[in-house]
Structure 1
């Protein structure tokens, strides 16, 4: 069942899919509609899942699930991944590649392959206080508090030692 993302409890599980480019103004309404339809029909072993979504910075798809009602199963997570793969094809974007980094520099979002970001850190082009997006957060609470953080406060800190 689709519910408003803001209404999900802080303990809700989150999945963050980072796009390799911004979605256009023309794409966003259709993308939101497709997400709404998917989440409205998303189930685990036939039981409705209370889920919501938001799109941040026209680049990140964030799906939240209240697991206190019904938890996601392997099959329902597989269905979510298949849906995301369909979005990748439909919008010609990469959403599942975890070997990329998005960060903020000069008030703009930048997207780089992990190897490039690592080199930039070594060369001093990005620093410990560069804001990065930690897409490994697991709950809405972590998403709100630890998603958009200085690199030194995320898994990215390994590049600054």
Structure 2
């Protein structure tokens, strides 16, 4: 079977992160994960099953990874993954493929999402500092997802989005 446990994938496994603009919980989360699992179970590149896995965090972040040491994902197989998720968006009531959103934890631990301008405004207002945890949706390997997907703004590319007056601890 091509689907494996996410922690069984090597750190080098190719990864795509899909971030929901709004939390996906309850029955909607069940639908999402069931459909993703069904897709991954039949996911192939040029007829060859892909060794793959998925992970789900914070009711927002879906990671799909392929062990390309076993089988390379093709352009068509990657397109099929994106299309399957696009079809789910309306049913879930949120976007999974919206690029440009920034995600961070507020002081209560809730995951927040906004465009870059709103993130910068939150920093200007003091709600985001260099210590605020952010999520790096640009990670492209399973090892990075495991080790550094969530980290303080000051240790992330997100720091360049903060105004010059932000807390630089």
TM range (shorter): over 0.9
Following the alignment from structure 2 to structure 1, what is the Cα–Cα distance between the partners of residues 59 and 123?
Answer: 26
Partner SS for 2:84: helix
Q: How do 1:31-110 and structure 2 match up within 5 A?
A: 31-106=32-107, 107-110=109-112
| Equivalent residues, number | 161
**Structure 2 unaligned residues grouped into runs of 5+:** 165-169
Post-superposition shift, 1:81? 0.9
Task: State the Cα deviation string for residues 89-127 of structure 1 (Å, max 9, x = none).
Answer: 221211111211111111221111221002222343311
2:152 matched residue in structure 1:
150
**Structure 1 unaligned residues grouped into runs of 5+:** none
1:121 matched residue in structure 2:
123
Kept in 2, the 8 Å contact 1:122–1:159? The answer is: no
Post-superposition shift, 1:11? 1.1
Following the alignment from structure 1 to structure 2, what is the Cα–Cα distance between the partners of residues 153 and 71?
Answer: 31
Task: State the Cα deviation string for residues 26-57 of structure 1 (Å, max 9, x = none).
Answer: 22222221111100111111111011111101
Q: Which moved more, 1:32-41 or 1:105-114?
A: 105-114
CA-based RMSD of the aligned residues comes to: 1.3
Kept in 1, the 8 Å contact 2:14–2:67? The answer is: yes
**TM-score normalised by structure 1 residue count:** 0.94
**TM-score normalised by structure 2 residue count:** 0.89
1:141 matched residue in structure 2:
143
Partner SS for 1:26: helix
Following the alignment from structure 1 to structure 2, what is the Cα–Cα distance between the partners of residues 3 and 35?
Answer: 13
